[in-house]
Amino acid sequence: MGVLDHDVEGRIQYAKFENFYLVNVYVPNSGQQLNPLDYRRQWDADFLSYLKNLEKTKPIIAFEDSNVTLLRLGSFVL
């Protein structure tokens, strides 16, 4: 991504193909208490900038585990 604070975690994998980029990402988890929410918001903004920069040269196919759930049923708490 080009941002040292994020790159050390190795959350992004990408492959360059002739006609597109394939991007896979594991997004930081803010947890139920939303403790690292500021970091997550900055990460989201930086990742969007990264994708927009890639998109300047080729289309992108992106997959992500975004660590969000719309309903409590989608989460599991011990």
Tell me the C-alpha distance between 52 and 31, whole Å: 27
pLDDT of amino acid 59: 96
pLDDT of amino acid 2: 65
Q: Which entry of 7, 38, 44, 65 is annotated as an active-site residue?
A: 65
Catalytic residue flag (residue 65): yes
pLDDT of amino acid 51: 92
The answer to whether the Cα torsion of 12, 9, 48, 53 is positive or negative is: negative
Annotated binding residue 65: yes
For residue range 7-62, what is the model confidence (pLDDT) as tens digits? 666 689 989 999 999 999 988 776 666 667 788 888 888 889 999 999 999 999 99
pLDDT at 3 over 80: no
Annotated binding residue 67: yes
Catalytic residue flag (residue 26): yes
